Structure formats: structure tokens, C-alpha cells
């Protein structure tokens, strides 16, 4: 499948004047952060959740979230100056192992910590391996995912929902 066609909304999201869709996404993320802070889940920073195959789950991302990821990691967050705490992401990434299979975890997890924390998508923000969080995570995910889907519609950005590492592979192909 043509990578450009697969994430055709990506470039559009980056150029929505003046990055208003990404600003709105940032506002949703801020609301989510407050929502999570109230619940006080525990993160032991073990990094197990970023090892998808080992932990038994997948991370999915929308085109708008992928556009946000690229902008934030490149220090181009709308309305905000780049800070030293945001690492610039360059391609190619270590997405694949020597045998051609996807790495079992996120390429931005280093020594159990997220090196792209400010840019992480909804699934990363809301997932905690804390068992006390299990009662609210799915409902909150669905609530915020619906809001993100609505942003795609409001800004006429084609919506795609892709597995994280596959989306990064498509993004890498687009940026070549």
C-alpha cells in the first residue's frame, strides 16, 4: 500500500493553519493529564508497558497524534518554543530487528524510560500497569479517543488508526 495514501491526513494535520488541530490535541492531552492526576495511578517506571509483545498489548495511534508526535519531537510544537527536554527524533529508527521483524517494544524506550514523553500518544498517556487503574483506563481511553476522532472531523483531517510501530514505519517512508 502506498505510504503517502495510507497517512494522507498526516501532512494536512501538520499544515492546518496555524496548527490549530494540534493545539486542540494538546489541550485534550492537558485535560487527560489532569484527569489522570486526580486518579493517582502508580508507575514504577519499569518500562514493561513499552515492551508490547512481552506485555501482551498493542499501541494504536491516529494520524493527528502521529503528526503531533513528529512536531513535538522536532521541537515544532505550535505556540511553544523548543525546550531541551524534548529530544529531536531522527529517522531511521530501530523499528526492526536483524531478522526483519518488528522490535518487541517502542523504539523510544531507553533503559526503561520514555525518551519522547512529551510527544507520546493517547495510549501511552493513559495506560498504567497499576492494577488499581484497570477500572477506569478503558472508559477514559474511549472518551478521549472519541474527542480525538472528532478533531479529525472538525479540521477535515482524514482519520487513520494504525499500530504505533507500523505508523512510524509509514512516517519514515514519507519523510525519506
The predicted model scores a pTM of 0.81
User: Helix, strand, coil shares of the chain as percentages rounded to 5?
Assistant: 55, 5, 40
pLDDT, tens digit, 9 for 90 and up, residues 16-59 = 655 788 899 999 999 999 999 998 888 776 777 788 777 778 88
For residue 102, report the phi and psi dihedrals to the nearest 5 degrees. Answer: -60, 145
Q: Give the 3-state secondary structure of residue 61.
A: strand
* Structure confidence by residue, pLDDT tens digits, 100-134: 777 778 888 777 778 788 888 999 898 887 778 88
Amino acid at each position: 500500500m502506498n505510504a503517502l495514501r495510507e497517512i494522507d491526513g498526516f501532512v494536512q494535520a501538520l499544515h492546518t493553519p496555524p496548527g490549530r488541530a494540534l493545539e486542540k490535541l494538546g489541550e485534550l492531552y492537558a485535560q487527560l493529564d489532569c484527569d489522570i492526576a486526580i486518579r493517582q495511578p502508580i508507575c514504577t517506571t519499569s518500562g514493561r508497558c513499552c515492551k508490547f509483545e512481552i506485555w501482551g498489548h498493542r499501541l494504536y495511534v491516529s494520524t493527528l497524534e502521529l503528526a503531533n508526535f513528529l512536531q513535538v519531537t522536532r521541537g515544532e510544537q505550535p505556540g511553544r518554543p523548543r525546550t531541551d527536554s524534548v529530544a529531536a527524533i531522527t529517522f531511521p529508527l530501530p523499528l526492526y530487528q536483524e531478522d526483519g521483524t518488528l522490535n518487541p517494544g517502542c523504539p523510544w524506550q531507553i533503559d526503561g524510560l520514555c525518551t519522547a514523553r512529551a510527544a507520546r500518544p493517547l495510549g501511552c498517556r493513559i495506560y498504567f500497569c497499576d492494577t488499581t487503574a484497570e477500572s477506569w483506563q478503558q472508559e477514559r481511553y474511549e472518551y478521549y479517543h472519541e474527542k480525538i476522532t472528532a478533531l479529525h472531523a472538525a479540521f477535515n483531517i482524514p482519520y487513520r488508526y494504525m499500530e504505533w510501530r507500523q505508523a512510524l514505519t509509514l512516517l519514515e517512508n514519507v519523510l525519506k
